[in-house]
Structure 1
């Protein structure tokens, strides 16, 4: 198996494991903060144990040594982990995943502000299309029974927070941020513990809670390993699968109809990002294509 195929396979597995995330939130019978607490504690705890068992404490020290960049990354990951569950509890799953798909737009803006990277015409057009899609989703939230603007706003905050974390991580790209994910999840779980009422989850729901954390763990590991072997454009295209599959899965299992406006707005967002990423991928392949000397 080539490294490229390995990267595609690992990243795809990571995306597939994150697809049921919002479904678990719907199925677990507990308040949103309680679900968030156990989601973060299980995933963060297992990740930390895995890193300690394989590499010891050195990776954690390396993350902490990154200073404010590591701190921003962990705040972004931990904060978005809490807000994601709250968003799903307040609006439709389709709205949440389609809005979170706008993350590359925030990443582009933050990269311009903090890394002085130019915003190319392709990305300006993509951002304009994404804004249109988000406006359609927001308009539909006022008319759909299972959607709400408060949840939409939290989903937008998730997108911005995670994008800020990824932008900060680019400053210290030589350091693996997998231990940072563990610290972020455990830290966020600790912060919300006083108001999360973790023991309020019915015993019968324990297998769902553990499975939820396990799925997040496997997804986090795969999405940390897979991108080492493939381009960022390929990763971005594969991650868009969640935006398509998650609403369909929730619709099939619990009958949550995403609604026409969410489908239309989400289609605009996902379509714009897909075209943008395909352009980047095509340019990258042309640039890396070996030249043959004239015979």
Structure 2
């Protein structure tokens, strides 16, 4: 298997392991902060143990010495743990994942503001289409019993935080930020501890709590390793699978109907990003052929 095929396989597995994330939040019967505590603590500890076994403390020293970009990255990634749980708790899973799909738009804007990068005409068109799709989703939240604007706002924050974290980490490209992830997750869990009742769900739901953390840990590792071997456009296309599969999984398992306006808005968002990434992929292949 060549590196490209390896990258496609690892990234696809990472996407598939992250798909049940929102379903776990739905299935775990606990207060949102308790669910968020275990989401961060269990996945953080599992990733930490794996890193210590593979590379020891070396990577952690580099991360802690990476300056403000590294610390900002850890803060933002840590904040997505309660943000994600609050999003799924307060609105439909379909709303959450379709809003998450808009992350490349936030990343483009932040790259322009922070790094001074230009925004292409293709990206401007994509932004307008994504904004239209998100508007349809927001309108649909007023007509769907399981969707609410408060959850939509939490989902928007998570999309923004991930985009900002990825933008910040580009300031320290020479440092692997993988060790920052367990620090962020465990740190977030410790901050949430005073607001959680972590022992209440353990007796009856330990398997869901542990399974949730394991899926997040595996997905995080795969989605960190896989993109090293494939292009950004290919990664973006594969990640769109999560936006499609997660609502279907929740619909099949617990019968959560996302509503027709959410599906229409989601189709606009996914369609815009799909076309945009396919254009980038096609241009890259043309350049490779002309260069060869």
- Calculate the TM-score normalised by the size of structure 1: 0.97
2:124 — aligned with what?
124
**In the alignment, what sits opposite 2:53?**
53
265 and 201 in structure 1: CA distance in 2 versus 1, 3 angstrom threshold: same
Residue in 1 that maps onto 2:3: 3
Match of 1:198, SS state, is: coil
Aligned match of 2:38: 38
Determine the C-alpha separation between the residues in 2 that align with 1:35 and 1:87. Answer: 12
Q: CA offset at residue 193 of structure 1?
A: 0.7
Gaps of 5+ in 2: none
Tell me how many residue pairs correspond in the alignment: 292
Alpha-carbon distance in 2 for matches of 1:164, 1:281: 24
- Work out the CA distance in 2 between the residues paired with 1:16 and 1:71: 29
Instruction: Please give the residue correspondences for 1:254-265 in structure 2 after superposition, counting only pairs within 5 Å.
Output: 254-265=254-265
8 Å CA contact 2:87–2:152 kept in 1: the answer is: yes
Decide whether the 8 Å contact of 2:42 with 2:210 is kept in 1: yes
Please list every run of 5 or more consecutive structure 1 residues that lacks an aligned counterpart in the other structure.
none
Q: Partner of 1:93 in structure 2?
A: 93
> Which residue is equivalent to 1:163?
163
Provide the rounded CA distance (Å) in 1 between the counterparts of 2:231 and 2:291: 21
CA change 1:286–1:112 in 2 (3 A) is same
* Change over 3 Å in CA distance of 1:116–1:199 after alignment to 2: same
Aligned-residue offset at 1:202: 4.6
Q: 1:213-232, aligned counterparts within 5 Å?
A: 213-232=213-232
Aligned match of 1:253: 253
Deviations 1:119-161 (A, max 9, x none): 1100000000000000000000001011000000000000001
4+ residue stretches of structure 1 with deviation over 3 A? none
What is the RMSD computed on CA atoms of the aligned residues?
A: 0.9
Once the two structures are TM-superposed, the CA of residue 81 in structure 1 deviates from its matched residue by 1.7
Q: Distance in 2 between matches of 1:130 and 1:81?
A: 24
Task: Kindly report which structure 2 residues correspond to 1:1-295, keeping only aligned pairs within 5 A, or say none.
Answer: 1-289=1-289, 291=291
**Displacement after TM superposition at 1:290 (Å):** 5.6
CA contact (8 A) 2:202 2:209 kept: no
Q: CA deviation at 1:109?
A: 0.6
In 2, Cα distance between the equivalents of 1:171 and 1:282?
28
